[in-house]
Amino acid sequence: MENEPVKEVETVGESPKESTKSYNFKTELGRRVLAGEIKSIDEIFSKGMPILEEGIVDYLMPDLKTEFLYIGQSKGKLGGGKRRIIKNTQKVTAEGKTQHFSAMAVVGDGNGHIGVGKGSGLESVVAKEKAVKKAKLNMIKIKFGCGSWECTCHGTHSIPFKVTGKSGSVRVELIPAPKGISLCVADDIKIIMRLAGVKDVWSKVEGKAGTRINLGYAVFDALHSLNLFRYSKSVAENLGVK
């Protein structure tokens, strides 16, 4: 039986924009955001400004959702082989056994903004917190479209082009799919696509796909490459690029 993705519940309470007292940004970008000079995450992307504080993302995107990829595996007789969001590695030293935990987070708003990050630490909670922080700092904006030759709706349900991403030995190819096909991809790729807002897509994976960390980064690399294409206005209209 396939495991359902573990979902992180958004913070309940006062919106970050309703309370600026809890934010003490140290960077110039953070201070400009707090002063109201920059009002959206897209404005930051358009100016090519690096985000160095995760609080900036929290402030501008209070509805951001978080999920974790299943990069680990349970051990033992009870539940052995079951996939987990925490990867646990042990090392035997002169002082005894030491444990190291890793987690891989995906953050997105379902509207074209997506981030992926890996964190590690001596405690699982610390690893998850670091992963979420890195994912927020790695946020990108992707392009939607309808690049499938089987569909001429010019909508934004899929991606406009076939793109390829690579990480380690894993190579992932994302292929535009016609409307209604849904996400015909592996479960871990579904998490990233869903949080990015892509509704219909095919994929082709090569290499050691069992290495979930490389798989996640390869998918993220493929989505990022959507922003590297240059095309005319007529092509953009034909593919529904937005």
Task: Tell me: pLDDT of 2 over 60.
Answer: no
> pLDDT by residue (tens digit) across 23-32?
888 999 999 9
Top CATH class of 65-140 equals alpha beta
CA neighbor of 68 nearest in space, from 87, 83, 85, 88: 85
Query: Which residue matches tokens 């992932």?
Result: 172
Please, what is the average pLDDT of the chain? 86
Task: Tell me: pLDDT of 16 over 50.
Answer: no
pLDDT band, very low/low/confident/very high, at 55 (cuts 50, 70, 90): very high
**Architecture of the domain delimited by 142-239:** 2-Layer Sandwich (3.30)
Query: Which residue matches tokens 């030293």?
Result: 93
The per-residue DSSP string of 101-169 comes to EEEEEEEE-SSSEEEEEEEEESSHHHHHHHHHHHHHHT-EE---B---TT-----SSB-SS-EEEEETT
pLDDT given for residue 80 in this prediction = 62
pLDDT given for residue 228 in this prediction = 85
pLDDT band, very low/low/confident/very high, at 78 (cuts 50, 70, 90): low
Q: Mean pLDDT over residues 185-212, rounded?
A: 93
Task: Tell me: pLDDT of 193 over 50.
Answer: yes
pLDDT band, very low/low/confident/very high, at 238 (cuts 50, 70, 90): low
Six-digit token string for 150: 């089987």
User: What does the DSSP 8-state code read for residue 60?
Assistant: H
pLDDT given for residue 79 in this prediction = 58
pLDDT given for residue 98 in this prediction = 84
Q: 107 near 132, Cβ under 8 Å?
A: yes
pLDDT given for residue 92 in this prediction = 82
Delimit the domains of the chain by residue range. Answer: 7-60, 65-140, 142-239
pLDDT band, very low/low/confident/very high, at 3 (cuts 50, 70, 90): very low
Task: Tell me: pLDDT of 51 over 80.
Answer: yes
Six-digit token string for 157: 């349900």
Q: Is 29 helix (H, G, I), strand (E, B) or coil?
A: helix
